[in-house]
Structure formats: structure tokens, C-alpha cells
Amino acid sequence: MNSGDHGVFLIVGLGNPGLRYRNTRHNIGFMVLRRWAEILDVRLAGRAFWAKGGRARLREQEMILLCPQTFMNESGRSVGACADFYRIEAQNILVVHDDLDQDLGRIKIVKNGGGGGHKGVVSIFQHLGTRAFNRVKIGVGRPRYHEPVDEFVLSPFYKDDREVVEKVLKGAVKACEVFVGRGVAQAMNLINRQNFANKEE
């Protein structure tokens, strides 16, 4: 497939629906897509594919922004239905989600990676029948106060992390833009070596 003929891109943010989860670590994927949708002036709405979504364009490239509303461990149902409907190839899918194994401030773009125990990602593997899609893994770190991990990911960021979270959201939006505009290798080169927690960023 040449670079001028990409077809439609599907950009997915993972999270749990409902106000109770709105600003929790597990919902960082939703936060990134909401931020990008604001910049693109796109409304994430509707109920198609058990998701809030919107069509958008970046330069000439057509995209679908999707936030599944199925709860995290059923995310694949939504992503699979959307990808099937629009016949979107795995290489054109980008999934944005939280990652416990990286510190807050780190963003890692991967393709063909493992699930790392992330139930949303594992669900997408099952429903797409492939791991050949791309991901933006956003570090949320580990519990600081010995909280159980499931409680930690379903809680808001610590107050003193909010400044870094803001930088991370900007960095993750940039990652999505570069992925769509220039491809996954360029996005990896630009994003994976940065630490968005650094003061001079």
C-alpha cells in the first residue's frame, strides 16, 4: 500500500463510561481522544458500535475517533464492529491506553505488542483476531501509597501529577497526529525517547 493510499484510520481511546470514571488513570485513552476531538472541532457522540465517536480529517486523511462505551474488558466488541463495518486494516488502527509498567511522563508507541495484562487490549486482540494494530501506551506509574492496583487505576491522578498529565495529553495527541500523518515508525522515533515529566519540556 503506498503512502498516498492509506484508507480510513481508526483511532481508539480506551476507558470506562460514566462520570465515576471520568478522570481516572484507566481513562487516559478517553482523555486523549477528547482533547484531540476538541482541537479538531469534532463532537464525540452517538451510539453506533457501542461507542461515542466522530469522523474527522487530518490534512487529507480521513479518520474515525472512537471511545467504546462497553466498559474496558469488552472494548474489543466496539473496535471490532467499527473496523469490520469500515473495512479498516489492522495497520491503520491506533489504540490509546494506560500502561502500569511505565512511569507517568512516558509514552510508548508499539505495534504487534503483547497485552501486558490490559483487559481492554486483550479484548481487542480477541475481537480483531490479530495483534497487528498499533498502540499508544501511556505510563501511569505504580501506586505510591500501596493502594491495590485495581483501585489505583480506577482513581484520579494524584494532585501533584496533574501538570505532568497535561504534558502527557499534549504528547499523546502529537503521537496520534504523527502516526496518521507520517506513519508508525516516525511516531515511535519522535515520542518513545521523550520523557514528558521533564521540567524543560
Q: Which residues are catalytic?
A: 26
SS3 79: helix
Residue type, 69: Q
How far apart are the C-alpha atoms of 106 and 164, rounded to whole Å?
Answer: 10
Nearest-CA neighbor of 158 among 23, 19, 29? 23
CA distance 133 to 140: 22
Q: Angle formed by the axes of helices 184-191 and 162-182, to 10°? A: 150
Three-state DSSP string of 142-185: CCCCCCCHHHHHCCECCHHHHHHHHHHHHHHHHHHHHHHHHCHH
* Cell numbers at 134, concatenated: 498499533
